[in-house]
Amino acid sequence: MTIARRFEAALAQHHDPALAGPEALPQRLSRASADLLGVDGAGLTLVDGSGRRVPLGASDPEAAGAERMQFTAGEGPCATAEATGQPVFAVEEDLRRRWPLFADLLLGSTPFRAVVALPLRPGPAGPGALDLFFTQPADVAALDVFEAVAVGELVTSALSDAALWSTWTPAAGPDWLHGPAPRQRAAVWEAVGELSVALDVDPAEGLALLRTDAYTSGRSVDAVAADLLDGRRSLEDLRPAD
């Protein structure tokens, strides 16, 4: 059976009612990727036209949390793969050496001990990456890289086909850009905008303040942003000390 047929079969197993909508396509693709490649978790992200990193979906909550950790740290294999266009293979020692902030979060809060990040060719909403997570570093060597790259191509094709056969505007993007994970990340940019105005800082500094607060409190940037927007915390709480 070809890799395409095997991927189609894996994807068909994740058509439960909870994932029936077009916005859930990235989550189904992530689950199918993890199943077919025999990895412990998988997640999809992209970089939009504004250069902002958007999580699309993940195979499970731990894989989704690992993406949020990369975003909170502002570093990680996925961001490197997206920036360079090259695959990234990292076991625990590599994670600690190359991305120490991310490694501290990942190794301290998840069972994952290795990551493979594969860049995806640009689709209708921008270039992306497929993150594969491993609880056993030795399993990275057993990964069929050619098969993994082929899965990445199938994922990109599925997203492109879904966009092609649906109606959407460039401003809104395809339906699969409106799932729970992208909406949660959109709240971060809203919070950055409010911080920039309230504290008179530029957006880059506003994001840095969010990341510092999240990292030091052991939370994600997404969670801190949600608290600010919902009024559970004051924007002034993030003002740098003089």
* Helical ranges in 38-144 per DSSP H: 61-73, 77-84, 92-98, 100-109, 139-142
**DSSP string covering 108-135, please?**
HHSS--EEEEEEEEEETTEEEEEEEEES
| SS3 (DSSP) at 54 | strand
Q: Would you call 132 exposed, middle or buried from its count of C-beta atoms within 10 A (0-12, 13-18, 19+)?
A: buried
C-alpha distances in Å from residue 29, one per residue of 3, 208, 237:
14, 31, 39
> What does the pLDDT look like over 6-40, one tens digit per residue?
888 888 876 666 666 778 889 999 999 999 999 99
How far is the C-alpha of 211 from the C-alpha of 134, rounded, in Å? 25
What's the token pair of residue 60?
């499970």
What's the token pair of residue 122?
């640009």
Taking 60 as the threshold, does the pLDDT of residue 107 lie above it? yes
Average the pLDDT over 224-236 and give the result. Answer: 92
Buried b / exposed e over 61-87, threshold 16 CB at 10 Å, is ebbbbbbbbbbbbbbbbbbbbbeeeeb
Percentage of the chain exceeding pLDDT 90: 63
Q: Poorest-confidence range of 9-23, 48-62, 177-191, 205-219?
A: 9-23
**Number of residues that make up the chain:** 242
Taking 70 as the threshold, does the pLDDT of residue 240 lie above it? yes
Percentage of the chain exceeding pLDDT 70: 90
The closest of 116, 118, 74, 119 to 99, measured between CA atoms, is 74
> What does the pLDDT look like over 115-152, one tens digit per residue?
999 998 866 556 789 999 999 999 999 999 999 999 99
Taking 90 as the threshold, does the pLDDT of residue 195 lie above it? yes
